[in-house]
Amino acid sequence: MAEAADDSDNFCYRHPSRQSFVLCQRCGRTICAECQTQASVGVHCPECVREARQRAPKRKPAIVTAFRPSSNKPVVTYSIIALCVLVYVAQFVSGGLVYQLLAYAPELTAIQPWRMITAAFVHSPFALARPTSLLHIAFNMYSLFIFGPILEHLLGRARFLALYLISAFGGSVAVLLLMSNVVVVGASGAIFGLLGAFFIIQRRLGGNNVQLLVVIGINLVLGFLIPNVAWQAHLGGLIAGGAVAFVYLQTRRPNQLRWQIGLVGAIVAALAAVTIVAAG
């Protein structure tokens, strides 16, 4: 503890005209009321406060350091949204040609397997007879706008893009296994993959995911109740996204990068193997 100063020193060292009898707990200098910063014990002068802050270790929020590296701007999320909107406009301008070229039908899997991914960027075309088709792209893009930046910030751009595409692939694989003679489009499978990943990650970080679980449950149930909704794609995307997120969580350390790439590659290989067998 600092010793009391002499009467001749009972003036603030920063403001010599201001008399004070309060000493800095660290250096013992006299400080006036303006220069005092309350500490756990006593008060500190501005210089001691500044020195303590400089020595303190820089800490990032735990939610940011959960993965490497974090992305400050959700470039991938906004790019996906922009691409979906451009494709939607192209569908209208081309008179349905873009829809026919990119939509996914299980019967085309063997000859045009890329449709299992491109379908995630296509949405129900607008028609005067079905103006509610606008809700398809609007709801998906709104969901991506809400959850995409959060996950991209947590995972980084490359991991987030991989998560999105693998989830879309998983949704198409589920359609291949569980549906036939249908044509499916939309980012719903990928969106459910993001929801599944967010649930897994938030649960590991200790967040409250009850509301998210309710949202996922409601959307899955609606997929069964509302006609012309591919609940199979929702389920497949949810499982694939959850699996990728689980791998990310288990391989977060820098020395586990090869394991992470290998395990994510194994998920893709498994989905591809199922596709080959089911389409054969």
- Domain extent at residue 136: 75-279
Confidence of residue 54 (pLDDT cuts 50, 70, 90): confident
Residue pLDDT, tens place only, 75-85: 999 999 999 99
- Same-domain check for residues 36 and 150: no
Q: From the CB of residue 158, how many other CB atoms can be counted at a distance below 10 Å? A: 11
- Same-domain check for residues 159 and 207: yes
Cis peptide preceding 227, ω within 30 of 0: no
Whole-angstrom distance, CA of residue 157 vs CA of residue 152: 6
The pair of structure tokens assigned to 62 is: 């735990």
Q: Are 201 and 66 in contact (CB under 8 A)?
A: yes
Tell whether 66 is covered by a domain.
Answer: no
Tell whether 204 is covered by a domain.
Answer: yes
The pair of structure tokens assigned to 215 is: 């949202």
- 83 or 37: which carries more pLDDT confidence? 83
The SS3 of residue 257 is helix
The CATH number given to whatever domain includes residue 271 is 1.20.1540.10
- Same-domain check for residues 33 and 112: no
pLDDT at 119 exceeding the cut of 60: yes
Residue pLDDT, tens place only, 203-248: 776 655 565 566 666 665 555 544 466 778 888 999 999 999 999 9
Whole-angstrom distance, CA of residue 43 vs CA of residue 246: 48
Catalytic residues, by residue number, are 188, 234
Tell whether 162 is covered by a domain.
Answer: yes
Amino acid found at 89: V
The SS3 of residue 214 is helix
